[in-house]
Amino acid sequence: MMDIWSWICEPPNNDDWGESDPHPPLAFTMASSEEGDSSSTRSIQLKAERTMGSDSEVCITFTISFQGFQSSPLWVSDPCSLSSEQPFLPLVLQLLQETISRSPAMPNTICPRSQLQKLKPEPISWIIESHSPESFSSFFNLVLLTRLFWLCSWDAPSEIGSFYFQYLLGPNIEALTFKQVPVLRTFLVSIGVDTELCFMRTLGYMLTKWIILSELSVGLKTLITPLKGQQQHLGFSYATEAHGFWTLKGYAPVNAMKLLHSSDQKSQFPATGAKGSLLRYALAHQQLEAVIQLEYTIGFHDGYIQVNARVDNLRFHVARLGFSKKNDEMDDFLNEKHFPSRIRVWVGPEVGSTYVSGLTLGRSTNNGENEVETQRILKGRFGKYSKDSSHVKARARVSMKNKMKNWRWDQDAEGNAAVFDAVLCDNVTGHEIATWKSFDQNSNGSSHGFQHRYYGANRPFTKAGGLVFAGDDYGEGVGWRLNRDMEGSVLKWRIGGEVWLSYWPNNVRSSYVETRCVEWCDEVDLPLIPPGK
């Protein structure tokens, strides 16, 4: 794993740097390949050069160079003054600002990138100060790799882009699993939700390109081996506790989610004709963004402590990781997207806890009732049989009314953890959407009741294709009774979520369907501190 931050934070003394003017730059080689002899060596280097700023202050300027390519340095940093208390804070701010400014644009967004203010230096300065160079190093690697993605794949010749994916991103793919970047959680909490979305969509776009290239096997052999076993972890989630809320946020590129089933199991990213390829391309460039927010209260009683929790807000959005639309002909395909088909949320004490004496759920299993209407018409024959005699036939008609909703809510328990489960059902057949593996279209191209699912008064999603559950949808809460001797403690409470995304054709004629799944889990604080203490 690279340790560029330690190299940056330990610049050489003036004597070691040399006395020539200008001083020769020092280089950190981030990736290199040798093909036979030294003359064919190619590398990506971060170079540091000492310069003089205003008032004769000593500064360092960093450049990114590509050795062995027909290319001059494509990136130069702002000068970093060595006399400053945090001399390399401007470098971190510049990399982050340039990364966020390249975030994929969302159509019809109410917060375009042009309106985002520049990052404030105070949160980034505090993060640098409060973390050791060793722990901050992984976060800096992530930021630099992301900035290099835009530089190598967009601003540089194609051969540099291929070199970046194969020799730099490939060997350091663990930096994108987020399990190795604990500072990222602190960073996201500090910068605000608008900038957080831009940063995470940039990472999602980068990961999407990485996965597509590995699945297509475009000659980048080193991409495939590191990806196995890690693709399902190329996402990020974190949980917080504040003001009576437990909040879990999760991000996952759709093609990094576990594929449960599809109508084409032969390949995860097949290319079947121009329209089929365009559809798969559109479906791959999407990211699930989830917010799971639970409200909790604590009551202190004689002999026990009562902890209650209820669903406050569950928000799920499938963002399109793309830029400007190309033409009207492609709009229908580019606007195709996955939709949530099942949501599973759980919350409860840490595994193995002995201080919980009881769990109470707030909803009974719903046994649906059918309204049956029976109509009978009886007709008989009067008098003796003759051609002129009146007669009737007996006939019975039975009709059934069944009221169904798109979403069915359930509660369950696993140990002392309460489970909230929401399942999307076809309101005509009652089938669970997440379990359907295929369907047949009729001659008109329609498929059950889920085409044009973002229109109409009874649509199960928002107009933008998202999903929101609030307390009025599922207001019943759950409760735990704890031992009174836990008063004054700050316990660890676990919160998790599992989300199924399905795809059915919406505005295009296709028989392709699939369902994917992602799971997140984290810990939040439960402060058992009485008011006034």
CA atoms within 13 A on the CB side of 120: 8
- Under DSSP, the state recorded for 425 is B
Orientation angle between helical segments 193-216 and 89-101, nearest 10 degrees: 70
Distance CA 330, CA 350 (A): 49
Residue 234 covered by a domain: no
Residues 389 and 448 in one domain: no
Residues 347 and 379 in one domain: no
Domain termination site, one of 90, 107, 123:
90
Residues 429 and 497 in one domain: yes
Residues 428 and 395 in one domain: no
Mean pLDDT within 479-500:
94
Residue 331 covered by a domain: yes
Structure tokens at 340: 């949530």
Residues 384 and 264 in one domain: no
Signed CA dihedral, 310, 311, 313, 319: sign only: positive
For residue 443, what pLDDT is reported? 43
List Cβ neighbours of 179 (8 Å cut-off, separation of 6 or more): 233
Residues 358 and 260 in one domain: yes
Residue 499 covered by a domain: yes
Domain termination site, one of 47, 75, 90:
90
Q: How far apart are the first and last CA of the chain?
A: 46
Q: 157 preceded by cis ω (within 30°)? A: no
Residue 22 covered by a domain: yes
Domain that holds residue 429: 243-365+404-533
pLDDT tens, residue by residue, 331-346? 777 788 899 999 999 9
Residue 459 covered by a domain: yes
Residue 42 covered by a domain: yes
DSSP 35-58: ESEEEEEEEEEEEEEEEE-GGG-E
Residue 163 covered by a domain: no
Q: Is the pLDDT of residue 145 over 90?
A: yes
Nearest of 403, 395, 352, 349 to residue 376 by alpha carbon: 395
Residues 261 and 314 in one domain: yes
Distance CA 515, CA 315 (A): 19
Mean pLDDT within 362-390:
62
Q: Is the pLDDT of residue 55 over 90?
A: no
Split into its structural domains, the chain has a count of 3
For residue 397, what pLDDT is reported? 61
Residues 393 and 487 in one domain: no
Residues 326 and 451 in one domain: yes
pLDDT category of residue 113 using cuts at 50, 70 and 90: low
DSSP 19-34: SSSSPPPEEEEEEEEE
- Range with the poorest average pLDDT among 76-90, 178-192, 454-468: 454-468
Residue 190 covered by a domain: no
Orientation angle between helical segments 133-150 and 193-216, nearest 10 degrees: 70
Q: In a 3-state reduction of DSSP, which class is residue 126?
A: helix
Provide the CATH number for the domain around residue 442. Answer: 2.70.240
Q: 107 preceded by cis ω (within 30°)? A: no
- Under DSSP, the state recorded for 432 is B
Structure tokens at 214: 């590995």
Domain termination site, one of 42, 60, 90:
90
Distance CA 47, CA 68 (A): 15
Residues 286 and 383 in one domain: no
pLDDT category of residue 129 using cuts at 50, 70 and 90: very high
Residues 306 and 409 in one domain: yes
For residue 92, what pLDDT is reported? 96
Q: What is the pTM of this model?
A: 0.85
Residues 359 and 495 in one domain: yes
